[in-house]
Chain A
Amino acid sequence: MKDENNGEVWELRLYVAGQTPKSIQAFANLKRICEEYLAGKYRIEVVDLMENPQLAQGDQILAVPTLVRKLPPPIKKIIGDLSNTERVLVGLDVRQV
Chain B
Amino acid sequence: MQQGKQRACEELRLEKSPTGIRGFDEITQGGLPRGRTALVTGGPGTGKTMLAMEFLAKGATEFGEPGVFVSFEETPDELIANSASLGFSLPELCESNRLYMDYVRVERSEIEETGEYDLEGLFIRLSHAINTVGAKRLVLDTIETLFSGLSNAAILRAELRRLFRWLKDKGMTTIVTGERGANSLTREGLEEYVSDCVILMDHRVTEQVSTRRLRVVKYRGTEHGTNEYPFLISDRGFMVLPITSMKLDYAAAEERISSGIPRLDAMLGGKGLYRGSLALVSGTAGTGKTSVATAFADAACRRGERCMYFAFEESAQQVIRNMRSIGLDLGRWVEKGLMKIIGQRPTVHGLEHHLMTMQFMIDDFDPAAVVVDPVTNLTQVGAISEVRATLARLVDHLKSRNITVLFTSLTPGAADEEMTNVGISSLADTWLLLQNLETAGERNRAITILKSRGMAHSNQVREFLLTGKGIDLVDVYIGPEGVLTGSARVSREADEKAREAALRLEIDRLEADRRKRRALLEEQIARLRSEFEGEEKELESRIRLEKLKMETMFQKKKEMGISRKAET
Contacts and interface: CB of A to CB of B under 8 A. Distances in A.
Interface string A70-81: 000001111111
B125 A57 contact: yes
Contact of A63 (B110, B118, B127): B118
Contacts of A77: 110-112
B112 A66 contact: no
A64 B125 contact: no
Contacts of B119: 62-64
A18 B269 CA distance: 85
A77 to B, nearest CB: 5
B106 interface: yes
Interface stretch (A2-10, A37-45, A82-90): A82-90
Contacts of A22: 116-118
Nearest to A82: B114
B122 interface: yes
Given A54-B128, A60-B105, A80 B117 contact: yes
Interface in A14-28: 15, 17, 22, 25-26
A61 B125 contact: yes
B551 interface: no
B121 A84 contact: no
Interface string B321-343: 00000000000000000000000
Tell me which of A50, A63, A76, A82 has the highest count of chain B C-beta atoms within 10 A of its own C-beta.
A63
Tell me which of B104, B110, B146, B150 has the highest count of chain A C-beta atoms within 10 A of its own C-beta.
B110
B147 to A, nearest CB: 13
B102 interface: yes
Interface residues of B, number: 24
Contacts of B114: 78-84, 87-88, 91
A91 B118 CA distance: 19
B4 interface: no
A80 B106 contact: no
B113 interface: yes
B192 interface: no
Contact of B124 (A56, A79, A82): A56
Given A17-B120, A53-B125, A57-B125, A62 B115 contact: no
Given A62-B104, A64-B120, A80 B125 contact: no
A50 B146 CA distance: 22
B279 to A, nearest CB: 61
Given A62-B106, A75-B110, A80 B116 contact: yes
A61 B125 CA distance: 8
A60 B150 CA distance: 13
A79 B112 contact: yes
Contacts of A34: none
B241 to A, nearest CB: 39
Nearest to B106: A62
A65 B112 CA distance: 12
Contacts of A50: 124
Given A49-B124, A53-B128, A78-B111, A64 B105 contact: no
Contacts of B106: 60, 62
B112 A62 contact: no
Contacts of B124: 17, 49-50, 53, 56, 64
A17 B116 contact: no
Contact of B115 (A53, A57, A81): A81
Contacts of A29: 115
B115 A60 contact: no
Given A17-B124, A62-B104, A76 B116 contact: no
B145 to A, nearest CB: 11
Nearest to A63: B117
Nearest to A77: B111
Contacts of B113: 78-80, 87
B125 A87 contact: no
B128 A81 contact: no
Nearest to A22: B116
Nearest to B155: A63
A56 B121 contact: yes
A81 B112 contact: no
B110 A82 contact: no
Given A54-B128, A56-B128, A60-B104, A83 B122 contact: no
Contact of A81 (B117, B120, B125): B117
11 contacts: A50-B124, A60-B104, A64-B118, A75-B110, A76-B110, A77-B110, A80-B117, A81-B114, A83-B115, A84-B114, A91-B114
Given A57-B102, A78-B112, A79-B117, 11 more contacts: A22-B117, A49-B120, A54-B128, A56-B124, A57-B125, A62-B104, A62-B150, A63-B120, A64-B118, A83-B114, A87-B114
Interface of A: 15, 17, 22, 25-26, 29, 49-50, 53-54, 56-57, 60-66, 75-84, 87-88, 90-91
Interface of B: 102, 104-106, 110-125, 127-128, 146, 150
